[in-house]
């Protein structure tokens, strides 16, 4: 048919460029133009670039991994996943800090209300958690058990490679796959424990993960499909 064209797909290099552009647009840096603080501004600029480069690399490897486990199918992930990741990252950064009793971590510009990042040492633990939760929501949750372990291992290998090139990414601390899974579990439990489950309902792994995914999707107005075998708490999660 003359009107149907196959435009192919982005190469990995082109996709990396797009991912970098999306992240810089969605997660801009807070401009600090205070006089006499040029050195501090330079350090924060460097911290911002290190953070953004690290997040970009982790997202690129996540895209590649999901395609690999789906037999090389390019369309299984796209730039929509990157836009979604940037969206939920901002939500995690804001609401996880509130859950821990910390005032706003992300900084909103009074002119347009857009969240802008000012990277500091105090902020890095929250950035690390937001990064892991974002990867967990966007990629980890769609994989089976064997694939999840392999995915965590891939992220650890990616972090190790980044560390060898730039020691400033040490604060991400993705040196063990178990650490990634444990933080994901602990934070999911923190979010879900705020809900009233009712008498006789046990917070097992399936229910915890379903509730977490539904909560994040609803709060960010992101469509979600719960898929699984009978008895894995899909209807119960919706009811809660």
Nearest to 80 by CA among 184, 10, 176: 10
- The three-class DSSP label of residue 227 is coil
- SS3 of 192-226: the string is HCCCCCCCCCCCCHHHHHHHHHHHHHHHCCCCCCC
Please state, in angstroms and rounded to a whole number, the distance separating the CA atoms of residues 72 and 56.
Answer: 21
What percentage of the chain has pLDDT greater than the value 90?
A: 31
pLDDT above 90 for 108: no
User: Computed over its alpha carbons, how large is the radius of gyration of the chain?
Assistant: 19
pLDDT above 70 for 7: no
Residues in the chain: 240
The pLDDT value given to residue 39: 47
Residue 77 is given by DSSP the state S
Nearest to 89 by CA among 62, 121, 67: 62
Q: Is the dihedral of CA 146, 147, 151, 152 positive or negative?
A: negative
The pLDDT value given to residue 109: 54
Residue 140 is given by DSSP the state G
Contact 108, 93 (CB under 8 A): no
Nearest-10 Cα torsion for 156, 210, 75, 223: -130
- Average pLDDT, integer, range 109-138: 81
Could you read off the pLDDT of 126-171 as tens digits, one per residue?
Answer: 888 899 999 999 999 889 888 999 999 999 999 999 999 988 888 8
- The three-class DSSP label of residue 106 is coil
Q: Which two tokens stand for residue 201?
A: 């309902």
The pLDDT value given to residue 33: 47
In a 13 Å sphere around the CA of 19, the CA atoms on its Cβ side amount to 25
Contact 96, 184 (CB under 8 A): no
For residue 102, what pLDDT band results from cuts at 50, 70 and 90? low
* Residue 117: burial class (beta carbons within 10 Å; 0-12, 13-18, 19+): buried
**Residue linked to tokens 């486990």:** 69
pLDDT above 80 for 3: no
Nearest to 162 by CA among 52, 20, 31: 52
Nearest to 107 by CA among 19, 193, 32, 10: 32
Mean pLDDT is lowest, of 27-31, 38-42, 94-98, 183-187, for: 38-42
The pLDDT value given to residue 44: 53
Could you read off the pLDDT of 168-200 as tens digits, one per residue?
Answer: 888 888 888 888 888 888 888 887 777 777 777
């Amino acid at each position: 048919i003359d009107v149907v064209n196959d435009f192919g797909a982005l190469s990995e290099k082109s996709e990396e460029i797009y991912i970098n552009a999306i992240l810089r647009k969605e997660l801009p840096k807070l401009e600090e133009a205070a006089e006499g603080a040029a050195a501090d501004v330079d350090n924060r600029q460097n911290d911002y670039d290190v953070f953004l480069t690290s997040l970009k690399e982790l997202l690129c490897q996540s895209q590649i991994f999901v395609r690999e486990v789906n037999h090389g199918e390019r369309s299984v992930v796209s730039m929509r996943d990157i836009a979604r990741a940037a969206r939920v990252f901002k939500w995690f950064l804001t609401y996880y800090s509130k859950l821990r009793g910390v005032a706003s971590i992300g900084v909103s510009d009074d002119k347009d209300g857009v969240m802008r990042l000012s990277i500091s040492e105090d902020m890095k633990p929250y950035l690390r958690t937001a990064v892991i939760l974002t990867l967990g929501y966007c990629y980890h949750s769609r994989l089976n058990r064997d694939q999840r372990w392999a995915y965590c291992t891939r992220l650890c290998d990616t972090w190790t490679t980044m560390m060898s090139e730039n020691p400033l990414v040490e604060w991400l601390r993705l040196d063990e796959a178990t650490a990634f899974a444990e933080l994901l579990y602990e934070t999911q439990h923190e979010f879900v424990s705020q809900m009233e489950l009712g008498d006789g309902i046990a917070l097992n792994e399936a229910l915890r993960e379903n509730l977490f995914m539904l909560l994040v999707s609803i709060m960010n107005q992101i469509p979600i499909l719960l898929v699984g075998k009978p008895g894995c708490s899909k209807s119960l999660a919706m009811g809660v």
